[in-house]
Structure 1
Amino acid sequence: MATKRKSAVSDRRNREPELIAAAITVFYEKGYAAASLQDVADIVGVLKGSLYHYISSKEDLLARICVESHAQAAGIMEEALASADDPLDQLRAYLQRIALWYLTNIERVSIYFNEGRWLTGERLSEVRAQGREFHAFIRTLIDKARTGDRVREDVDPRVATQLIIGSLNSVSTWYRPDGLYSPEEIATAFTDMSLASISGDVPAVLPRAAPSPQEE
């Protein structure tokens, strides 16, 4: 009997990634306010009531997506810090990797920035704290690079951080997977241009796209 119960719990946990993936699809396509748990249940292929084995509410599901997304971004922070000793090189590694993560997780990123506002109470406070952590990480690296003479003295780390993050956060609104450039190319261009704006380095240039029939 105990073995059967343990197996049931294991099966339940194994469906959590499937539930999160379904919720990301639904929240992205319909928007959090218009989406329902029934929509999520339909994609997963279970009864709506079964979802409460995993979550307590629709908001709980949104919170899990946001927390999980931040955890993945935080992992990239740690990887960047371990990749080099120089703060500007660490910043380069971070921007390259986080931009690529954004570009390959457009739906998740869009939900975090556009639907996270529906969270309330402690959940909303947690997401806002995560945003401050993101800002502080980039600003600290710029500060350190500036002290080490790798960033121009006239650069205000606060403004530079806002400009870089603003550009990064807008990616999900305009990038299209079927566009002219790959995620890797866009991530590299974003990183080079961001660093050029604070260090004076000449950024790499994307190859010029062939003109459309209207432009010829």
Structure 2
Amino acid sequence: MKDSHVADDVTRAAVELFATQGYANTSVQQIVAAAGVTKGAMYHYFESKDDLLFGIYDRLLSLQKSHLDEIIARGGATDEVLRAVCVDVLETSIDDISAGTVFFRSMHMLSAPRQQEVTRRRRSYHDQFAALIVRGQADGLYRDDIPVVMIVAHFFSDVHYLSHWYSPEGPEDQTLIAEQITDLFLSSIRSKDDPA
């Protein structure tokens, strides 16, 4: 477990550098200089730059998956559960917008086994998300004339696009943005027969 301040400092520096100048253009020397540590200290926690890049994904994926599991475990009406999941994934993505920027620009630069692991974990999350939609379709809440895979892609395209337009310095409150995007999404999949 990487619980040291050194690991946190290195990760923060790497996220910032990868987000601003790209993974390929960032050297280990730049990362350790920005973190204020030695290469030896960095290599105590991360085996390589690839390990560091994977660590950024691992942290975000683990956080979002644990939140998803907690929200689903609480139970409740399908629409309320799906709404809570949507708001959460948007808020956590906004909270760590730089990591999201790195995620979508640099994932293809991970080693093949690490890419497969990230893909597997994202698919697992999407499968649970899709199961909520299927449940809502069975309850007559959501339209069933569009394939579930397309509905899932529709929502996550908004999540993936956040890093292209959202600015933490902007006037928009992140919770309000998360709720507005969620409302737009849920309205778009609502069954025409559902009175809500």
State the TM-score, normalized to the length of structure 2.
Answer: 0.90
Q: 1:55 aligns to what?
A: 46
Superposed displacement of residue 194, structure 1 = 0.5
Which of 140, 147, 166 in structure 1 is aligned with 2:131? 140
Query: CA RMSD of the aligned region, Å?
Result: 2.0
Which of 117, 127, 131 in structure 1 is aligned with 2:122? 131
Give the number of the structure with larger relative contact order, counting CA–CA contacts within 8 Å between residues 6 or more apart.
2
Cα separation, 1, equivalents of 2:5 and 2:170: 35
Q: Is the 8 A contact 2:140 2:191 kept in 1?
A: no
Q: Is the 8 A contact 1:145 1:151 kept in 2?
A: yes
- Determine if the alignment matches structure 1 residue 197 to structure 2 residue 192: no
Which of 29, 43, 68 in structure 1 is aligned with 2:20? 29
Greater Cα radius of gyration, structure 1 or 2: 1
Q: Is the 8 A contact 2:91 2:175 kept in 1?
A: yes
Q: 1:113 aligns to what?
A: 104
- Determine if the alignment matches structure 1 residue 92 to structure 2 residue 44: no
Cα separation, 2, equivalents of 1:152 and 1:51: 50
SS in structure 1 at match of 2:127: helix
Superposed displacement of residue 134, structure 1 = 2.6
Cα separation, 1, equivalents of 2:145 and 2:69: 29
Q: 1:175 aligns to what?
A: 166
Cα separation, 2, equivalents of 1:191 and 1:20: 30
Question: What amino acid is aligned across from residue 158 of structure 1 in structure 2?
Answer: V
- Determine if the alignment matches structure 1 residue 166 to structure 2 residue 166: no
Superposed displacement of residue 75, structure 1 = 1.5
State the TM-score, normalized to the length of structure 1.
Answer: 0.82
Write the deviation string for residues 94-134 of structure 1: whole angstroms up to 9, x where unpaired: 00111111112110111111111100121111011122123
Question: What amino acid is aligned across from residue 174 of structure 1 in structure 2?
Answer: W
Structure 2: unaligned runs, 5 residues or longer: none
Superposed displacement of residue 200, structure 1 = 5.1
- Determine if the alignment matches structure 1 residue 184 to structure 2 residue 175: yes
SS in structure 1 at match of 2:4: helix
Cα separation, 2, equivalents of 1:82 and 1:137: 12
Cα separation, 2, equivalents of 1:114 and 1:156: 27
Q: 1:77 aligns to what?
A: 68
Cα separation, 2, equivalents of 1:181 and 1:56: 39
SS in structure 2 at match of 1:35: coil
Indicate the percent of aligned positions where both proteins have the same amino acid: 26
Question: What amino acid is aligned across from residue 119 of structure 2 in structure 1?
Answer: R
Q: Is the 8 A contact 1:83 1:93 kept in 2?
A: no
Write the deviation string for residues 73-107 of structure 1: whole angstroms up to 9, x where unpaired: 10121132134322222110000111111112110
Cα separation, 1, equivalents of 2:95 and 2:106: 19
